[in-house]
């Protein structure tokens, strides 16, 4: 999926009930492939044929919706996958925003890509289904008024453990426990996600996110170097399967993946660490070099229909920033503590993005860790 991953903005509440009326579909009709101008394409024209090329996180879009989108619109949806925001960024920079029609960056990466001229301005609030965006998901720090993006899914990033393997006396409750796992945990999994990896280590050492302080950066690097021998995998793919199948007893994971793993293995427990976790949001955007622009907008508008988004919510086990979703969620999903943040936990918070200098420091730490 991540999510997914990355850092987030002060925009997301835990799953809340919305009752705004749905906006009817509309707009013009075309059967041609829209041609982007690389900067702005704010007119909505509904496409009825052609194709759209979606580039998204691994295991992050239901096959059921691929089929349904073709049936509903006549447009073929092709899906390709990446494993981190940074992989997506590198791909778009190398191609000047070409190659794909819709990509799915996390909140902070929307801001980075838009400021770099790699996203098309679309004014999504004026789409036929734009009125379905909840107010708190409209004026977001990374894309005020949704000029470049539409909401997809949101959730949290923490870690989970297998309570059949790790006894209650050693049950982890903090990032300090994760980075110094009990012997019963064996070797653990960490995402191949520089931002989450460094920030969560920073939570343990007490440094500030995006710091340029040499001592704080060194403390994080030392923690990660000491952690490395305790690591089995540095991989954002396959976490769910490794946890559910018992291959790993503890791993960094997105909340939706933890929930899905727990369906196969009820011993999987999602942790709300004492130091806090990141609250994130993923989004649909159109790269500046996209060729099938009308098809891309038609796809994004179609996904803002709650009935379509609910399929992704129930499959991926995350929330979404659209009205009308909550009543369509599976009851078990809505009741899961991995999905609905406990009312007394106030530490699931968005994290602002680092600038280029700060990210360069993170990159050096992360490459040392991975090396």
pLDDT (tens digit per residue) in 45-103: 999 999 999 999 988 999 999 999 999 999 999 999 998 898 999 999 999 999 999 99
DSSP state of 126: G
Helix or strand or coil: residue 239? helix
Task: Provide the strand spans (E) within 3-148.
Answer: 28-30, 45-47, 51-57, 76-82, 102-103, 139-140, 143-144
Answer yes or no: is pLDDT of 6 > 80.
Answer: no
Residue 146 is predicted with a pLDDT of 97
What mean pLDDT comes out for the span 10-39? 33
User: Could you read off the pLDDT of 186-220 as tens digits, one per residue?
Assistant: 999 999 999 999 999 999 999 999 999 999 999 99
Average pLDDT of the chain to the nearest whole number: 89
CB-based contact 121:147 (threshold 8 Å) = yes
CA-to-CA distance for 259 and 269, rounded, in angstroms? 9
Instruction: Please report the pLDDT score of residue 12 as a whole number.
Output: 33
pLDDT tens track for 115-148: 999 999 999 999 999 999 999 899 998 999 999 9
Are 324 and 72 in contact by the 8 Å Cβ rule? The answer is no
Write down the H helix ranges in 166-325: 175-179, 194-205, 214-227, 239-244, 255-264, 293-303, 306-316
**Helix and strand element counts for the chain (H, E):** 12, 14
Q: Answer yes or no: is pLDDT of 11 > 70.
A: no
The answer to whether 303 and 102 have CB atoms below 8 angstroms apart is no
What distance in Å separates the CA atoms of residue 157 and residue 272, rounded to the nearest whole number?
9
User: How much is the average pLDDT of 160-173?
Assistant: 98
Q: What is the pLDDT of residue 35?
A: 40
Element (H or E) spanning 335, and its range?
Answer: helix 331-335
Residue 47, beta-bridge partner list: 30
pTM score of the predicted model = 0.75
Separation between Cα atoms, residue 130 and residue 146, nearest integer Å: 9
pLDDT at 39: 54
pLDDT, residue 352, reads 83
> pLDDT band for position 248 (50/70/90)?
very high
């Amino acid at each position: 999926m991540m999510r997914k991953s990355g850092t987030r903005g002060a925009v997301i509440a835990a799953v809340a009930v919305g009752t705004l009326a749905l906006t009817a579909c509309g707009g013009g009709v075309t059967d041609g492939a829209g041609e982007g101008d690389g900067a702005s394409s704010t007119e909505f024209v509904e496409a009825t044929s052609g194709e759209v090329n979606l580039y998204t996180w691994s295991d992050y879009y239901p096959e059921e919706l691929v089929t349904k989108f073709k049936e509903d619109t006549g447009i073929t949806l092709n899906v390709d996958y990446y494993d981190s925001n940074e992989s997506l960024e590198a791909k778009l920079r190398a191609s000047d925003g070409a190659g794909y029609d819709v990509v799915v960056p996390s909140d902070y990466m929307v801001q980075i890509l838009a400021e770099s001229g790699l996203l098309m301005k679309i004014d999504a609030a004026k789409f036929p289904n734009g009125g379905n965006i909840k107010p708190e998901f409209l004026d977001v720090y990374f894309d005020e008024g949704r000029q470049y993006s539409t909401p997809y899914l949101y959730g949290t990033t923490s870690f989970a453990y297998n309570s059949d393997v790790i006894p209650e006396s050693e049950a982890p409750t903090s990032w300090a426990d994760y980075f110094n796992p009990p012997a019963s945990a064996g070797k653990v999994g960490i995402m191949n996600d520089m931002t989450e990896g460094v920030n969560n280590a920073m939570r343990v050492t007490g440094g500030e996110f995006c710091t340029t302080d040499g001592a704080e950066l060194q403390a994080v690097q030392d923690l990660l170097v000491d952690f490395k021998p305790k690591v089995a995998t540095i991989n954002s793919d396959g976490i769910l399967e490794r946890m559910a199948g018992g291959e790993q007893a503890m791993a960094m994971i997105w909340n939706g993946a933890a929930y899905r793993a727990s369906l196969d293995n009820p011993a999987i427990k999602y942790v709300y660490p004492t130091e806090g976790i990141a609250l994130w949001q993923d989004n649909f955007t159109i790269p500046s070099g996209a060729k099938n622009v009308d098809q891309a907008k038609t796809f994004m508008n179609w996904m803002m229909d709650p009935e379509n988004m609910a399929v992704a919510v129930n499959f991926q086990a995350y929330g979404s920033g659209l009205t009308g979703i909550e009543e369509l969620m599976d009851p078990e999903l809505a009741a899961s503590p991995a999905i609905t943040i406990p009312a007394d936990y106030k530490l699931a918070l968005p994290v602002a993005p680092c600038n280029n200098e700060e990210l360069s420091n993170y990159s050096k730490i992360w490459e040392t860790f991975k090396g």
